[in-house]
Structure 1
Amino acid sequence: MVVFPVILAVLGGTLASCLFAILPGLHVYNVMGLAAMFLYGAQDAGMAIGGELVVAFMVGLVCGWSMLNTIPSVLLGAPDESAIFTVLPGQKYLMGGRGYEGVMIIGVGGLAGIGLLLFVVAPLAPKFLPVAHDVLMPHMHWILWVIITFILMTEWPKGGNFGEAGWGKFFDAWKGLGAGLLTFFLSGWLGFILLYRSPVSVDVAFQNIMPAFVGLFAVPWCLLNLVSGVQVPEQRIGKSLGITGDVILRSAAAGGLGGGFAAFFPVVTGGVGGLLAGHATAQRDERVFMMSQGVSKMVYYTGALVLFFAPGLNLTRGGGAWIIGGLYEPSGWSDYFLALGCIAISGAVSFLLLSPLTRFTLWLMGRVDYRTISGAALLIILLMVYLVTGWVGIFIMVVGAGIGLIPVLFGSRRLNALGILLLPIACNMSGCGSAVAAWLGLV
């Protein structure tokens, strides 16, 4: 293995993530899917691209995106006045003119996540996690059902302050909960359709779920930004983040727990892991909450690659590992150290890029309305879906967007849209997936 080309490849992936990460709603797995299609085409054309270079580029892409995607999540997600008391701390920082500070706090969490992976998880993973996997594997199905139950239970009735006494207040209180349940089961139904009767061409079967995910999560976000009438206040660049060692340790513990859980268990995403960790650790400090989300996101996305390359484990979790696995098969400690080295380089470079890119985004927002930026991102997303899956994918995306707008309009959690994965996979792991699919008329 030649070191210099590998370093260039990981830097190339990290720099590419700078472009894709700052666009709202554009997910790294969609970009990896396009890259995989290009690599498959190159292989068919007889072009030989070294497996180490593919690994380095993909790891740089995932790690860089995990760090830099914080920028649009904070700066391009301004809430309107109706949601000002329910928004996350990152949006509160933005509406208080402290968006830069919010981005950097989450970024420090991402850097802490890199340290957690390299100095805690990496030395222990090859020795202990294979044993843990063998012990827990027979119990994965009921653990997943417990997680689903917890997600639905924590969508607690809100409201109850409007309407006439009796049924009026009852329906007001249960409006959000009903929307959450409807979102979960409709997205689960869509997941069954895509799993058993997918209209997507077999040539792009590895991107089967992509149009639905874009519709469920990315499109509603862009549309919400486009119709929002809120004005983002002038932002100021703070000189201090007010972070102490105690804040970093508590954030690393909470975020590492959530992200690690999500990376290790099948189908569980970073959002679910963050929800579970937040309830388990009960962190109320806004700085701890934001930083822990940065830790959780980095540990989830990048940690899944650590588990994939860990000798004796080679656990395929998350879309990134699946895409890389279709291009390259890990072969021992050398590939493990290659992945860890790429994570270290990409994590350091992407953190150094976080501040200038945040300043650039703030400068751009001062000259171009963020609704225009969201509109451009929506067009790019539509083009990407069309290029990968054609008009069939556009149709699936529109259906997903209809479901994804339900929690936006009725004030429930968007996390419920993960029913697209959780429900069919939980049924399949429990042995009743085919029966449910037959009941739905899919087989």
Structure 2
Amino acid sequence: MEIQILLFTILGTAVGTLFSLFPSLHIYNVAGIALLLWQMFRDVIPELAIAPFFMAMITAFSFINTIPMTFFGAPDESATVTILPGTKYLMNGKGYEAAVVSGIGSMAGIFLLVILTPFMWYILPTIHKVVSPHMAWILALVMVYMIMSEWPKGCGIGTTLWQRFSHAWGNLFAGLLTFGLSALLGLIITSKSLISVEMGFQNIMPVFVGLFAIPSIFQNLLSREKIPPQHISDTVELSWRDIGKATFQGGIGGMLAAYLPAVTAGIGAIIAGHATALRGDVLFILSGGVAKVLYYVGAFLFLFVLTPLSPMGLGKGGLNVILKPVFSPQAGDFTLMLGVIIFSGCISFLILLAASRWTLKILQIIDYKKLYWFALVLITAIVGHLTGMAGLFVMAVSSCIGSIPVFYHSRRSNCMAVLLFPICLNMAGYGDIVASWLGLQ
């Protein structure tokens, strides 16, 4: 049994690494396909392999997806004031350093998960028991905070009053519009799903592909900038103090995202960044690596926290939803999963270092836009195959909404209102009432 677990841990790491290299392809899409394949060959693939395989896959993704996020996107001049620090490093020829710093942050996140084990077992279930009845207004506060944090946007740039007003308030209005349309879309898809019952576990996939993946692909295909020559350094400018600060900030954001429903690492990072008031590109990249691990890996790991106060675990997130119909955690799985995370995380960090170098060499030969064309075809084919024409229609509508923050430079986290708003209403007991007002029931 130990050999099988080791083999499927390595296989999960390999699969997660491979598909994490494709720009805009999310690992949850791959997880859905992997689950279908397992159901087809379940007589050959043992059930005990499910948890190690998917845990290793999501761990690898939390490391390796740094590569497409950092290297596969050169913003044009219209977006230079809103690009993320990782992209700034890329445009300054230091993309490899950004990838390494993010990987160090992810390793710090793995270490944080290990030392938080007593907290998960002895404190988190009690917190969950106290907090869960109040989750509706907590999520409402998160949404209010997201909207309020859009202000202020400055006085604007221009020679006329209208130019200054539109420059200062244009992206703010875009953020509010994105939030409102995403919330409305969320109410529609949660009340009347267009996806067939057989593919119900992928009900939300076309929405997220449209809101996040397709707009990113279009943005990079339309960009006219070229990736500048990159320098591969043998050292990075980091101190233990930086790592400690980033682990603290990323830990707060990641834990919030791992526990609160529909709160992503991006939203958690906004809250944690304002709470800790830590600034700087290095700290941003480091804390992002920490938060990614806690958000993706930690959220799935919570599923294995089986205590008298949490007999069904505390897991959340897309992977938990995908596996829930076919998998139930057992007592003792937590320690096993922690070992899988450490093993896969160490391998993934080493792969990240090598793959970043290979990527830089490949980008000297191949135009990265060809990768985006391939990703566009692949993602569209996956959505069409799994969800049919209805899924493609939902993806197209979602793409229109998701393009607003991309091309008007507002926060893309506002798109998460697609889940935050309906979940908050349902937890408060008003979901059916609002749906009936809109004629959705």
Structures share fold, TM-score greater than 0.5: yes
2:250 aligned with 1:252: no
- 1:282-361 aligned within 5 A: 282-312=277-307, 313=310, 314-332=313-331, 334-361=332-359
2:182/2:415 contact within 8 Å kept: yes
- 1:27-46 aligned within 5 A: 27-43=26-42
Root-mean-square deviation (CA, aligned residues, Å) is: 1.3
Which residue of 2 is the match for residue 64 of structure 1? 60
1:157/1:176 contact within 8 Å kept: no
Superposed displacement of residue 157, structure 1: 5.0
2:145 aligned with 1:115: no
Which residue of 2 is the match for residue 366 of structure 1? 364
Aligned CA distance change for structure 1 residues 48 and 368 (closer, same or farther; 3 Å): closer
- 1:48-59 aligned within 5 A: 49-59=45-55
2:221 aligned with 1:226: yes
2:262/2:416 contact within 8 Å kept: no
Which residue of 2 is the match for residue 14 of structure 1? 13
Superposed displacement of residue 128, structure 1: 1.1
List runs of 5+ in structure 1 lacking aligned partners.
Answer: none
What is the distance in 2 between the residues matched to 1:157 and 1:377? 36
Listed one character per residue, the Cα deviations across residues 164-209 of structure 1 (whole Å, up to 9, x for unaligned) are 32x5543442211111111111111111111111110000101100
1:79/1:230 contact within 8 Å kept: yes
Aligned CA distance change for structure 1 residues 244 and 71 (closer, same or farther; 3 Å): same
Given residue 27 of structure 1, which amino acid in structure 2 is its aligned partner?
A: H
Deviates more, 1:124-133 or 1:101-110: 124-133
What is the distance in 2 between the residues matched to 1:74 and 1:336? 32
Given residue 183 of structure 2, which amino acid in structure 1 is its aligned partner?
A: G
1:225/1:370 contact within 8 Å kept: no
Given residue 79 of structure 2, which amino acid in structure 1 is its aligned partner?
A: A
The equivalent position to 1:412 in structure 2, one of 404, 407, 410, is 410
The equivalent position to 1:401 in structure 2, one of 399, 402, 422, is 399
What is the distance in 1 between the residues matched to 2:44 and 2:88? 49
SS in 1 for 2:116: helix
Listed one character per residue, the Cα deviations across residues 118-143 of structure 1 (whole Å, up to 9, x for unaligned) are 1x222321111110100111111111
Superposed displacement of residue 274, structure 1: 1.2
Which residue of 1 is the match for residue 131 of structure 2? 136
Q: TM-score, normalised by structure 1?
A: 0.96
Superposed displacement of residue 48, structure 1: 5.2
What is the distance in 2 between the residues matched to 1:163 and 1:172? 11
The equivalent position to 1:85 in structure 2, one of 68, 81, 86, is 81
Superposed displacement of residue 277, structure 1: 0.9
Superposed displacement of residue 33, structure 1: 0.8
Which residue of 1 is the match for residue 420 of structure 2? 422
Superposed displacement of residue 18, structure 1: 1.5
Q: Percent identity?
A: 42
Which residue of 1 is the match for residue 273 of structure 2? 278
What is the distance in 1 between the residues matched to 2:148 and 2:266? 16
Listed one character per residue, the Cα deviations across residues 63-116 of structure 1 (whole Å, up to 9, x for unaligned) are 000110011111112211122222111011000000000011001000000010
Superposed displacement of residue 386, structure 1: 1.3
1:216/1:401 contact within 8 Å kept: yes
SS in 2 for 1:330: coil
List runs of 5+ in structure 2 lacking aligned partners.
Answer: none
2:157/2:163 contact within 8 Å kept: no
What is the distance in 2 between the residues matched to 1:211 and 1:261? 25
What is the distance in 2 between the residues matched to 1:409 and 1:65? 27
Listed one character per residue, the Cα deviations across residues 33-85 of structure 1 (whole Å, up to 9, x for unaligned) are 11112222334xxx253222111110011000011001111111221112222
